[in-house]
A and B are shown apart, each in its own frame.
Chain A
């Protein structure tokens, strides 16, 4: 048939079919050899790449070893390299990078703080872990923008921890490490005090908590002396918010002589030096309180 039908879809399809069949009848061996040659080339390229990587890695190891030795010193001496080229500078930078990464990992392992990059390097997220007496407690996070200057954009630090004034006081802009160390101390101390209050309430039902606050910086307890059943009001002031132990312990009692007695002077000392829940346990054992 002539005309439109010869240029129709079906005829085009049958043309393609004929072409495909003719291709199949060509000798298979030629293509197989080509394939194998291409594979061999690819493998050689890969081998060269791996060789280069091994070389770089070895040089990096050498650099890291010399860096670690120099670590305690503030200034790093310029290491004499075989070729003082761009390559060696790059390697030095890479070594420094792995050094910092290892430091951060070590920091994470000891329960310090984690830092990760966010927003394609435009910011970081710092996670501060808290713990007390081997128990892991809450983790607090801060998202910090890096440009134009360091700025805390988001965080879940409770409002009674003065985050902004801590940032100002420890010069966050120039010394972020000092800021993070101070923050970590405040948060860990708060977590410790909060945990002590929790344990106190759980373990000492006979002791009444008269006053406390969200920051756990003040604690007023009602203690009872056995036998006479005298009530002693015990006030613990935690004015240093970076510490888990009180800065001041005060007893109030109807019996004015009691706070000055040797037993209660010991108790005062105990409460100043040991966490409140363990101090109360000792006081119970010694028969000072119910």
Chain B
């Protein structure tokens, strides 16, 4: 549908509305929609589109009031689409999502994996209460699953390594040097290879259309300006969609609790230390004021740097996104590309941080439990060894 957007003229027949609802749904889905029966009904799609646009802050209330059956509203939908296009690199992002992957890719971070969680399993909501042992069992199952995952991953890497080393020197692209599994697969299976080629060619067509769109984009925005001007002025107050209970609020609460706990800890530590310090320094003369100010300045700078790490736009110090695996004997390929050793280093430090955080949390729990249990007379808390 994308190449048509650029060619779409100012015609606004009512038939455009359902197509636009569908388009917006696909654009806004958190997961690239697989063509399947998983697609919800058109009315449901429209509702989800409305909700998604609202949650992203779409400013015009007219959208909310549109009927969901697609009988009207193509102009408003077109405005919504343009709004999404104007805000960010929507086109490029979508193209990247459905990109044909020719290499063996490994993500070096976990963002993408979490962002596309896969089709939600049909969940039968058990309204009943569960025994905590069921939770323990689920937890054990999860651990087992992770163990399996790691073993499978090891095997996969071994196989990849073999394929890469057996096809050394085969690739026409010197910087790659060897075939990937996808490429070897296309050699092994001609039918699959033909399909891959077709997909590649259609992607090339899409990319060319996107580049063409870029060249003509200005005209589109000028036209959208006129469309916006032609809209009747809005007068009504925006109506709110009913609140959908969601874990978003829970996330906020969790973080709030953590910050609260952190602040209290810091407060306790600071009070004692400050008191101790004042006691020591009380008799000191004004001579050390200069050094005091220097320290303050240094600390201020350090903390500002720390704050930058999480602020909006804070530098992505870590490698990001999927990378194509290329096997090269150490030192031969001096070309561009991330080195595995660097990634390993970064991951190890991340691992250490997370382990420390987890241990700290577990310790907190232990303390809390001991406190709760210990408050009762006559009971002893016995821990298994190693805790």
Bind each other = no
A residues with a Cβ closer than 8 A to B are none
